[in-house]
Amino acid sequence: MNNEEIIVLSEDITTKIAAGEIIERPANVVKELVENALDADSDEIKIEIVRGGKGLIRVSDNGKGIYPNELEKTILRFATSKIKELEDLTKVQTYGFRGEALAAISSVSKFSIKSGKTGFDTYELSVNFGKVNSCNMTSPYIGTVVSVENIFMEIPARYKFLKSNASETREITKLIKKFIIINDNVTFAYYVDGKKIYHYIKGYNALKRANELLDENRLKPVEYRDNKYNIKGIISDPLVQKHKAEDIIIYVNGRIVKDNVILKAIKQGYSFVLPHNKCPVAIFDIKVSGNDIDVNIHPAKNMIKWLNPNEIFHIIYNIIKSNISKESLSLVGEYRWVENENPINKKYGYKEIYNDLLLFDEEVQNSTLVKNNELKVLGQLFNTVIVVEKKDKVYFIDQHIAHERVLFEKFLHNNILNDNISVNLSEPILYEFAIDKIEFLENSIEDFLSLGFGFERFGRNAIKLTKVPSYIIKKDIGDIFESMVNELDEITDDSLKSKIIASLSCKAAIKANEKLSYYEMETLVNDLFDSENPYTCPHGRKIIFELTMEDLYRKFNRL
């Protein structure tokens, strides 16, 4: 009777199991091979794929190569040049170090690796789905060429999960773009089914590469350096609004990684200028000591663990916040009012009238906002959209979103607030909230007080609102406060006040379907373009839509 239930798996089976952890699809193979080429100090890399990588993946480099007597070691599991002692795990700065990638790849494909070093003969190792065929001298070559054919072809259970050639090609192409952008000291050539797709010469800088490969021109470089971190990056202005996060690219010590700490920092940095369902372009190349990260938490080496996640979070967050500035966003630049003698200016004066902005009915004609060439407010569409002309362009401005941005920045910088911003309510307003909201309000009372709100707890689950800001006294006070509090979920300490202000600005701003006078429109346009970010509201919605004269004329077949 055979009572054996526990068996030791063969080397062949364990290698193929490991391959499943490291290689899900052809793009994973490309990633491993390009990282190996970069780690070999290559400055010229050629990538060729056929049939989405299912037919062929070939990566050629001019790196330092492999000694002839060590070529066969490259396909052994846990054979690596990066680690000799356990302590080396905390010092690893290079791409591959576990020694599993080539072993895994060669076990599930027809595989060959050709390599040569200066002063040594060139050899080529040939492997067929884990079985070594030969290792022979071949034509001279300095560097390494790895070819992977028919991946998973002899493993039907894995092969059937591969996607179409077009889908696998798209995945590889997205990956190649990332390598090309960040490694601007390397020449890259990329071929798909024999056709050259990309060819970038080393020295063509990362910003230019990103502009072209991502088809964006609203990008800017950013940098940060201290005694621990050396960070270079590229970020987009808020007019760039992607549906997916695929153009958020994170490199840590040269490795493309998926990192939730950095991703969250990027999203929070853009949270006041992008809608919650839109993403920016953000590329960060982060160099940090191996002592501050753990890179050995995933077989595919695409995840890391930070020793101080809060530290790197705030660095990335502050890089973004400090670089999304008026200078990077300005569309019309500096401008000025053309003074005129219209009655409204004599009667009210600019400073006095702003506090009651959009509360008067007088019409003012022929005022003009200019910068070198005239910027004219033409009027209002549907009592909602302000139309502005400048040279050969027309701007359509959403009045509610524009006013929301203006109020947000004035509240944020205390340009409207002062010691007398609160009005005591003769009849306090009672609200019932869930206990967690009550506790939130009590913990945040100083932030609300600074904005002119006063309240106190009334019983177990009620709040009594006793004071409100003077600038919302003519609005629906009850609705503003209640809806504002209900919006404030999942707030971090450093963004609480900004979130309160964003919500308050939205509630206090003029609405759609409100008729405005010319002076009201001009005042709003003036204040809008004087703001740090005149193009998106605090929640990220676009304020301005632009139409060129050329586009308009084309509609009439004038071009």
Residue 428 lies in a domain: yes
Residues 166 and 284 in one domain: no
Residues 268 and 185 in one domain: no
Helices 26-39 & 165-182, crossing angle to 10 degrees?
A: 20
Residues 155 and 296 in one domain: no
Residue 59 lies in a domain: yes
Secondary structure (3-state) at 370: strand
Residues 55 and 177 in one domain: yes
Secondary structure (3-state) at 524: helix
pLDDT of residue 21: 55
* Domain end position, chosen among 200, 216, 238: 200
pLDDT of residue 356: 35
Secondary structure (3-state) at 363: coil
Residues 271 and 165 in one domain: no
Residue 447 lies in a domain: yes
Q: What's the CA gap between 157 and 161, in Å, rounded?
A: 8
Specify the number of domains making up the chain. 3
Position 142, amino acid: I
* Domain end position, chosen among 324, 356, 384: 324
Residues 432 and 467 in one domain: yes
CATH of the domain at 23: 3.30.565.10
Residue 409 lies in a domain: yes
Residues 171 and 26 in one domain: yes
Residues 165 and 258 in one domain: no
Q: What's the CA gap between 469 and 423, in Å, rounded?
A: 6
Residues 368 and 460 in one domain: yes
Sign of CA dihedral 113, 118, 122, 125: negative
Residue 164 lies in a domain: yes
pLDDT of residue 410: 83
CATH of the domain at 216: 3.30.230.10
Give the residue from 93, 74, 76 showing the smallest Cα distance to 145: 74
pLDDT of residue 433: 87
Domain hosting 297: range is: 206-324
CATH of the domain at 495: 3.30.1540.20
Residues 284 and 344 in one domain: no
pLDDT in tens, the chain (559 residues): 566 666 555 666 655 555 555 688 999 999 999 999 999 999 999 999 999 999 999 999 999 999 999 999 999 865 555 544 545 445 545 444 445 789 889 999 999 999 999 999 999 999 999 999 999 999 999 999 999 999 999 888 888 889 999 999 999 999 999 999 999 999 999 999 999 999 999 999 999 999 999 989 889 999 999 999 999 999 998 888 888 888 999 999 888 998 999 999 998 888 878 877 789 999 999 999 878 786 654 554 567 888 888 999 999 999 998 888 544 444 433 333 333 333 333 333 353 333 333 333 333 333 344 443 467 899 999 999 999 998 888 999 999 999 999 988 888 876 555 544 678 888 889 988 888 888 888 888 888 888 888 899 988 888 999 988 877 777 778 788 888 888 775 444 456 777 888 888 888 889 999 999 888 898 899 889 888 888 888 888 889 988 889 888 888 888 7
Position 260, amino acid: N
Residues 292 and 350 in one domain: no
Given the DSSP bridges, would you call strands 248-252 and 282-288 parallel, antiparallel or unpaired? parallel
* Domain end position, chosen among 200, 234, 266: 200
pTM for this predicted structure: 0.65
Distance of alpha carbon 412 from the chain centroid: 24
Residues 290 and 421 in one domain: no
Q: Which two tokens stand for residue 217?
A: 């021109």
Give the residue from 349, 354, 348 showing the smallest Cα distance to 403: 354
Residue 2 lies in a domain: no
412 phi, psi to nearest 5 deg: -65, -40
